[in-house]
Copies of this chain bind each other. A is one copy, B any other.
């Protein structure tokens, strides 16, 4: 987007004729999320009030954890979404009008008001993570901030290095290894010289995890009990388990973790799309016997690592040492489908939505 079009949009905006669509929570899903739980509504986009700025979103991240906030709450997680309100999620876009200091038309911004075409923001985030200016160039396009250079990338990086305290010689097991986070974890662990085992939900994904991402072994968790598959590919046990799914995977990992092993609890996608109470691992006691550490985290808790992480990841991306798979859905009208497919395990890599008018190669 060039300066002229930015100015034009700002004028349109100022004239009050701008309209944009947003995805709202219509009803709370009891089990699987279905299209009727969400609705897409077109609303007037107001010019920024003093202290505000307006961003036209180009790309949006679709994250499984959004599903958690559609429930009534009580998991100790982020507050549930209100019915009738738009969802929240990471997005990038350009400022089209601003009455806020530090944000000028044309600036590229990473912020949390996704799930809408236009985002009205304040510099302190107003209850969400504060929006930040991002550098965009040919090598690091906007969309990279939805994936490897954004929170997803930080999650992989700190989860493996800080939370699981990756040590020389560790054997690493990653679940959802073909997913947005898992695919990076596999590659970072390989870069560091580790033996890496992945699990995924289809033969195609399993082949992708070994052939494209470079894992030493992988299995499809739908073929047979996870414990059996894991024991087969990890006869010597594992030292680190990067847990994206919870449930049976965690239980299987606890069985084969070696003394002083570590689990990074990153997510539990196997439990998000259900109403039932999740049952914890029946073998948690093995943590006593083996001196295991289980540590939960969200990337925001490690925000102070963002600078170091971005420097490392930029270098890896530029050297071609990290490859980042994406699955792109076109237009906000397909954002609900993107999330439903992601929760069903029907996607591969990072799921993002390109908004109408977003740069084709972003």
Contact = CB atoms under 8 A, between A and B. Distances in A.
Interface of A: 75-78, 246, 250-251, 254-255, 259-260, 265-268, 271, 277-298, 301
Contact of A296 (B246, B271, B290): B290
Question: How many subunits of this chain does the assembly comprise?
Answer: 2
A293 B290 contact: no
B291 A293 contact: no
Nearest to A276: B282
14 contacts: A75-B289, A76-B254, A76-B255, A76-B285, A78-B289, A251-B280, A268-B285, A271-B285, A279-B280, A281-B284, A289-B296, A291-B295, A291-B297, A293-B296
B278 A279 contact: no
Contact of A288 (B255, B287, B288, B296): B296
Nearest to A257: B76
A292 B292 CA distance: 14
Contacts of A250: 284
A289 B298 contact: yes
A267 B284 CA distance: 10
Given A76-B283, A285-B296, A289-B296, 11 more contacts: A76-B290, A77-B286, A77-B288, A250-B284, A259-B301, A265-B288, A278-B282, A278-B284, A280-B282, A288-B297, A292-B296
Contacts of A298: 288-289, 291
